[in-house]
Structure 1
């Protein structure tokens, strides 16, 4: 059985057969998830997607753990003491195997916050040809996906864009992410709009530590 779990904000884990893949363990998330990570994917180098010191500590504590991310992520982690041979740079269009899951890299640019704010490289990850995490972007994967993790609150985003993103990708299941800056009423509003207007058959908000079987 495959299990998807939210760890807050943009951090998600995918578990199967005792293996754990973690995506975007940042400073707004419950970072205990990296203690059991067999592999980590990082979309870009912003702190809410990459908590550098805890991730380095986890990689050191788990000799088999591997991490993939854009070059800026890899540079930052190596400078902080991450094991060089287990931290891998990726660009768009690659296929890797992480914690036993096939992963395709899609997209390359962070969404624009403001012309005065630099845009880091941002890699989206298609896991198991079924679950797509875009990071801080609205990248269309270009293939059918079962689960789409959809940012619903960010300095670069308005909800109309999130709604149109869901409509464009047409996933079976939407899981809202990237919402640490929202109040509870704000989460409720985003759920009503994105869930109600996006058109996905299932809109599945996960609390921190809450899991579901995306296939069941």
Structure 2
């Protein structure tokens, strides 16, 4: 399985000749994929989903679109398959396990919206805008790869570090970092690396266009 990081919160995951797109939003430059199997949207915020991205990626084809109820309500013209925590779905070679349920609190005056995290093929977990710890059994072992939100209006770096510590994955890489300056990204990456390595993991400082192979 090969993960390509796009700008900000978007990931393209390729496996067995098919592609899965996660969270194609407004901070992500237009891109194309071949053999699209499905699109996952974790929540309705514009930096995670836009009609422009959806229309371009879908073109004349029909593929499953997975998202929580809030996304389906915000973009009702698309044929969403609504998912929530505990659901498992398949699309081509991808098995998708959803968890969480709510966006992290931004401020007490701002309503909390739906958000799901997604585990892809038991190997890559992406929490959307949350600090959801994915459920794992002892037999499954540690999360192989965690995409870590690095900067957002709803987090501070201490919470990011606590999150990495709670999940204790084998590898991490940063996501949701477009709102940072270069200096801010360097600081966030250093903190994520520190906690990852403290628990015996490896930090991979992916930027847009970089890829990571997951065995």
TM-score, normalised by the number of residues in structure 1: 0.90
1:22 and 1:146 mapped to 2: Cα distance? Answer: 19
- Which stretch shifts more, 61-70 or 133-142? 61-70
State the Cα distance separating 1:205 from its structure 2 match: 1.6
**Aligned partners of 2:25 and 2:53 also within 8 Å:** no
CA deviations 1:31-88 (Å, max 9, x no partner) are 31467632110000000011123213422x1424221001121233333xx3x3xx21
Q: Would the aligned equivalents of 2:86 and 2:97 in 1 still touch at CA under 8 Å?
A: yes
RMSD in angstroms over aligned alpha carbons? Answer: 1.6
- C-alpha deviations, 1:155-208, integer Å up to 9, x for none? 110111111111110100001101111011111111111211343521112121
Aligned to 2:210: 210
**Bigger share in helix:** 1
Q: Equivalent residues in 2 for 1:40-55 (5 A)?
A: 40-55=39-54
Consecutive unaligned residues of structure 2, counting only runs of 5 or more, are 137-141
8 A contact 1:26–1:50 mirrored in 2: yes
> Which of these residues, 125, 137, 145, is aligned with residue 130 of structure 2?
137
**Alignment of 1:89 onto 2:82:** yes
Q: 1:31 to 1:21 in 2, by over 3 A?
A: same
Unaligned ranges ≥5, structure 1: none
Residues 33/57 of structure 1: CA separation in 2 closer, same or farther (3 Å cut): closer
Q: How many residues align?
A: 208
